[in-house]
Amino acid sequence: MLVLVGLLAVATAAASGSSALQDGARQGGSTLRIGMSGPSANLDPANPQTASDYIPAVLVSGQLYRWNRKRVPVFDLLASARVSKDQRTVTQSLKPGLKYSDGTPVTAQDAVHGLERVRKGPGGPFFRRVKSASAPNDQTIVWKFTAPFPDFPDVLAQQHLLLHPWKQVEARGAAEYFKKPVSAGPLVVSSWTPGGPSMRLTANPNYWRQSVVDSLELVAVQDLTSRVLQLSQGTLDYVVDLPYASKGTFPSAVRVFSQPQAGMLHITTNLAKTTGPLSDARIRQVISLAMNRADISEKVFSKLAKPACAQLYAIPPYSCTLPFNGVQNLAAARALLRQTKYPRGFTFELQVWNRPGWPEAALLVAQELAKLDIKANVAPIEAAVALANLSSGNFEAQFSGNVGSPSIFLQNLYYPGTVWAEAARFRDYRTVKAVDRGTLSSDPARRKALFETAQRSAYRILPHIPVVERVVLRGSRVPDSVVGSVTPGEILIIGTRPR
């Protein structure tokens, strides 16, 4: 097993804290400690997950494709993939001799079973174009599509279709199995209690590449001041989400960098609440017009998060689709408000996930709405509560965010069955059809135009009001070749090398 003494001695020579990785002292049993925004509660991809769940889930699971650092899906457990001339069949071959961490062989049937489970969960709509999957033998997977599916590798690199030995999942039951699953990924769960303060992962000796990390601990550090202090002192080696104001406060041994997430922060409204002001699409448009997105970007996110001018983020560049290019227009907001039943304003609750900058951004939204006599009562809540409220419908409006490649991002907002479409209770065939047409095309210019049409269609209803693009501030004491991130994206990448 490769030990990180040489790499980390350089990275931590100037540190002033007491990290286990300092002074060239790393030994085979040393542990890399990563500060997370919350505890990991669920590794089952068939159930709704927060980032604190799916970040470790992909590290301890098999994937047919895995993102590289530039968010390009590349073969992981696959040796080859052949696409038919009509683009409706893909035949994949697994690498020979693959095994899970307990020695169980990885088989094509595990992928077929994974699809069956995915279809029942929040990832199911992304596979709606998959007509069938079969395993003619242990090494071969045959996928049949209802139409061309150019995004298929990207979908497989998401956190939804993760390979696990299907016989074990069925024998133990998913609830029990995913408390300590075996792994066909780079790491394996060593110790963990769902919802507990930490999760320890160790290198998977049977992964086809060799991890450069012997042991890794994901630590839930929900207090922002504690995250900053522990990273500064060296008791944490990497932090996934730092407060923006902390950027210039760290010792030289800590590398602090902004990480684009391929996503957008938005206010999701509950369309199932058919009475009250937020049930009127014009009111939702008023809120969008009243936002001072540039002010939020500057005051909360140090201009690292670009003001939204569309529902889709600008990576790659997509045209602005919001009225006035998303720039605040209080006069237009007042004029539209006068056309509703609430010309003198109203009151509503705005729940907000307790992530760095999000409550502050929500308060700035409330500050601008107050100029229209609209009172938004901002209520910060933890991620688990927020997710439960989205599922149950226990909210009027919620400040949160979505991530994904442009195709995945829009599907997640508007396809029935996806997390954000279901949270908003959004159903609009016209918008879904426009997104669908875009996903069929592999031509960038045509896809861009169709996705912009879909966003304009969605603005009629505006279930999700975009605020600013998603960017997090991260801090690291270790080289990016050891622990890094998909760029843009949330998923962590653990360094590996050939065996």
Query: Cβ-count burial of 498 within 10 angstroms (0-12 exposed, 13-18 middle, 19+ buried)?
Result: exposed
Averaged over 113-120, what is the pLDDT?
Answer: 94
Alpha-carbon distance of 75 to 71, in angstroms, equals 13
Fold of domain 262-471: Dipeptide-binding Protein; domain 3 (3.10.105)
Residue 314: pLDDT above 90?
no
Alpha-carbon distance of 392 to 223, in angstroms, equals 27
Question: Is residue 367 within 8 Å of residue 395, measured between CB atoms?
Answer: no
Whole-number pLDDT of residue 442:
87
Fold of domain 1-60+185-254+477-499: D-Maltodextrin-Binding Protein; domain 2 (3.40.190)
The model's confidence at residue 343, banded by pLDDT at 50, 70 and 90, is very high
317 Cβ contact list (under 8 Å, min separation 6): none
The model's confidence at residue 25, banded by pLDDT at 50, 70 and 90, is very low
190 Cβ contact list (under 8 Å, min separation 6): 200, 201, 202, 215
Question: Is residue 237 within 8 Å of residue 255, measured between CB atoms?
Answer: no
415 Cβ contact list (under 8 Å, min separation 6): 125, 126, 128, 421, 432, 435
Residue 23: pLDDT above 70?
no
Residue 99's beta-bridge partner residues? 105
Same CATH topology for 1-60+185-254+477-499 and 64-174: the answer is no
Percent of the chain beyond pLDDT 90?
87
Give the start-to-end residue ranges of the domains of the chain: 1-60+185-254+477-499, 64-174, 262-471
Which residue matches tokens 């094509």? 108
Whole-number pLDDT of residue 22:
37
CATH 1.10.10.10, applies to 64-174: no
CA 468 from chain centre, in angstroms, equals 16
Whole-number pLDDT of residue 27:
34
Whole-number pLDDT of residue 76:
98
Q: How are beta strands 215-220 and 32-36 bridged, if at all? A: parallel
Averaged over 458-476, what is the pLDDT?
Answer: 97
Residue 483's beta-bridge partner residues? 494
249 Cβ contact list (under 8 Å, min separation 6): 228, 232
Percent of the chain beyond pLDDT 70?
94
Whole-number pLDDT of residue 257:
94
Residue 12: pLDDT above 60?
no
Whole-number pLDDT of residue 316:
73
Whole-number pLDDT of residue 8:
29
Could you give the 3-state DSSP secondary structure of residue 178? coil
Distances (CA, A) of 429 to 199, 226, 265, 447, 461: 42, 47, 24, 18, 12
The residue among 245, 215, 214 whose CA lies nearest residue 227 is 245
- DSSP state, residue 209: E
